[in-house]
Amino acid sequence: MNQSFATELRKYVIQQFTQLKEWLRPNPADSVAVKIFKGVYKSLAVLVLTALSPVIIVVLIIAFLAAF
């Protein structure tokens, strides 16, 4: 049962991280001004999300370490 929980938790974390990456990606149909505004807005939202959520920090550290 522990293995199943760990597998499901890993799938959930990967899915959430993928959704966050997709949300951060700019929309090619937007104008440059809208892309800049959305970039600033999204960067502030990610900063607040990271500052208030230690789980996200752990996930980002794991993803950073996995890149090596």
pLDDT in tens, 44-56: 988 887 788 888 7
**Alpha carbon separation from 45 to 39, 60, 62 (Å, rounded):** 10, 15, 21
Judge whether residue 1 has pLDDT over 70. no
Domain ranges across the chain: 2-66
| pLDDT the model gives residue 17 | 87
pLDDT in tens, 7-28: 888 899 899 889 988 888 888 8
